[in-house]
Structure 1
Amino acid sequence: MGVKGFVEGGIASIVAGCTTHPLDLIKVRMQLQGETHASAPAARQFRPALAFHEGTHTISIPAAAHTAPLPPPPRVGLVSVGVKIVQQEGAAALFSGVSATVLRQSLYSTTRMGLYDMMKQKWTDPNSGSMPLGMKIAAGLTAGGIGAAVGNPADVAMVRMQADGRLPPAQRRNYKSVVDAIVRMCKDEGLTSLWRGSSLTVNRAMLVTASQLASYDQFKETILEKGWMKDGLGTHVTASFAAGFVAAVASNPVDVIKTRVMNMKVEPGEAPPYSGALDCAIKTVRSEGPLALYKGFVPTISRQGPFTIVLFVTLEQVRKLFQEFQVSI
């Protein structure tokens, strides 16, 4: 069996990750909308001195500052966020953190795709030539969890690099590359910071991999069995887009919390904004409402659709090339 499944999955994942990186960046920015407002202090407003006359007495109230809640920040959509990024930071900003994406796909996706392929070959019924849906889901959950644990450092670096441009210039981390990000995180925040939000990453990856890979195989098998289409580009695109939608719906709430936990700034000597995933979820829902867990859903599905299509179409083509040239690895 070798490492063929890992190589095929790795190549397809890197191509898909780089192709859809701008959409992923916009998704991260949208998921962070409202977070600064939720944790920011109330605005201070000035109240002028007042004087009241009652009979022969004058009652004076000295000038004072009092707090007033800030107005809620305006919500902007996918196109607006993208245009704003280009206007304020330049077109190149859409690829901020792309080096982290390459590393993440090399670690996370290569591992999950390879492991899923191994389990698929092992658990496929030799008589029917297919694997039951329950086994596909189990394989996806296992492969996704292991892959996420391996790739978490690159995931943290990617989220931070993508989110950096939304901060005021004085507060930006200004990582030069994914290597610089990882080195500085280890130096400034300790080695454990590389696995910040790892439980969320693992949970999300298990959901994404199980829903994405298992549903792609299931949709593809159904299309071929029903005779709706032949095994070709049309089938691959249709099955992969359906799989991308399923993955987006299943993973978006965990993805929002993961993004916020990974991006939070922990000042020395101060308590972190969130004590963990549950605390982040509670604070997010309390301050922004339950629908906040589906922030960035439009760019999520806009990315998951193309990402999944590019991933599986590339994967099928790589497999075809390996078979044609009889590549054995």
Structure 2
Amino acid sequence: MGVKGFVEGGIASIIAGCSTHPLDLIKVRMQLQGENHSTGGLPRPPRVGPIAVGMQIVRQDGFPALFSGVSATMLRQCLYSTTRMGLYDMMKTKWTDPNTGLIPLWQKIGAGLIAGGIGAAVGNPADVAMVRMQADGRVPAAERRNYKSAVDAISQMVKNEGIGSLWRGSSLTVNRAMLVTASQLASYDQFKETILDKGLMKDGLGTHVTASFGAGFVAAVVTNPVDVIKTRVMNMRVEAGKAPPYAGAIDCAMKTIKAEGPMALYNGFIPTISRQGPFTIVLFVTLEQVRNLLKDF
């Protein structure tokens, strides 16, 4: 049962991650809007919406640019999501009451927090690579990092910035992943359980889509502020002999709020929910189908 949970979660996560990658890319670009202003650079540019950001990427670099960093997304899903989904499944199985077949919400949340934290620590190098590859297209060609793939990004970071750079922003990644996993997996299970208990729908595609959309919305609201800070800390350029733009997560949050107002922590919320909704739906609908396929193993 243990290994099966990892395999099922891994397959579903890779399919969901790749299919919603362009939305994730747009989200990252939007989260970095206004950043030069908050780090004391250029005046604040006008905010651009998700469709305009997507069109701008296609105009500037062509349609394939929407899949910049997709190799890092795949690596991240293999490391982070496979770990978190498998561990959550293991803990849920262990903690389920054998008589009722149920597990209290607080235990689901606890399982999500633990599984998310461990998964994020494992997957952080791929996360840094993904953010950098997605952000590359927004700077002039001469300043781009031009990583060829996730593996190239990781090896260049180790060579140029030391192995510690692979865990840059890891406290944020871990915090965000704990919140995502707890809010996404626990609320999916809770929504699904409630729908079935109240007899609103039968256990099938309709229930899976409804429960996963609710879970995606909850996860987006809970995690967007941490996600904005994480993106900015991971993407910052640290030049030799100069102080880094941000001393850490708290400093980044304070500078962002001071320069751009508190709602800047919800930068990219529309693409976050636009991505989190479909990602969560694809993730759980695929997961339920994969579970059906592998139920005899």
TM-score normalised over the length of structure 1: 0.89
Q: Which residue in the other structure is 1:299 paired with?
A: 271
1:83 lines up with 2:55 in the alignment: yes
Q: 1:15 Cα shift?
A: 0.2
Q: Residues 62-118 of structure 1: CA distance to partner in whole angstroms, max 9, x if unpaired?
A: xxxxxxxx3x31111010000010001110000000000000000000000000000
SS of the residue corresponding to residue 3 of structure 1 reads helix
1:136-285 to 2 correspondences below 5 Å: 136-285=108-257
1:5 lines up with 2:5 in the alignment: yes
Q: 1:40 Cα shift?
A: 4.8
1:4-23 to 2 correspondences below 5 Å: 4-23=4-23
1:24 lines up with 2:44 in the alignment: no
Pick one of 65, 68, 92 that aligns with 1:120. 92
In 2, the alpha carbon distance for the partners of 1:34 and 1:222 equals: 42
Q: Which residue in the other structure is 1:49 paired with?
A: none
Contact kept, 8 Å, 2:2 with 2:90, in 1: the verdict is no
**AA paired with 1:212?**
Q
In 2, the alpha carbon distance for the partners of 1:245 and 1:170 equals: 39
Pick one of 59, 70, 78 that aligns with 1:106. 78
In 2, the alpha carbon distance for the partners of 1:92 and 1:293 equals: 29
Contact kept, 8 Å, 2:84 with 2:116, in 1: the verdict is yes
In 1, the alpha carbon distance for the partners of 2:30 and 2:217 equals: 19
In 1, the alpha carbon distance for the partners of 2:154 and 2:245 equals: 21
Q: Which residue in the other structure is 1:132 paired with?
A: 104
Q: Which residue in the other structure is 1:35 paired with?
A: 35
Q: 1:35 Cα shift?
A: 0.4
Structure 1 residues without counterparts, runs of 5 or longer: 43-69
In 2, the alpha carbon distance for the partners of 1:187 and 1:277 equals: 24
SS of the residue corresponding to residue 30 of structure 1 reads helix
Higher helix share: 2
**AA paired with 2:147?**
Y
In 1, the alpha carbon distance for the partners of 2:237 and 2:201 equals: 50
1:317 lines up with 2:289 in the alignment: yes
In 1, the alpha carbon distance for the partners of 2:2 and 2:274 equals: 35
Q: 1:2 Cα shift?
A: 3.6
Higher strand share: 1
Q: Residues 14-33 of structure 1: CA distance to partner in whole angstroms, max 9, x if unpaired?
A: 00000000000000000000
Count of paired positions: 297
SS of the residue corresponding to residue 287 of structure 2 reads helix
- Greater Rg, structure 1 or structure 2? 1
In 1, the alpha carbon distance for the partners of 2:103 and 2:275 equals: 28
Percent of residue pairs bearing the same amino acid type: 79
In 2, the alpha carbon distance for the partners of 1:128 and 1:216 equals: 19
In 1, the alpha carbon distance for the partners of 2:115 and 2:7 equals: 15
In 2, the alpha carbon distance for the partners of 1:212 and 1:134 equals: 14
Over aligned residues, Cα RMSD in angstroms? 0.8
SS of the residue corresponding to residue 182 of structure 1 reads helix
TM-score normalised over the length of structure 2: 0.99
Pick one of 59, 64, 71 that aligns with 1:92. 64
In 2, the alpha carbon distance for the partners of 1:21 and 1:176 equals: 17
Q: 1:4 Cα shift?
A: 0.2
Q: 1:11 Cα shift?
A: 0.1
Q: Which residue in the other structure is 1:64 paired with?
A: none
SS of the residue corresponding to residue 113 of structure 1 reads helix
Structure 1 pair 41/104, CA: closer, same or farther in 2 (3 Å)?
Answer: closer
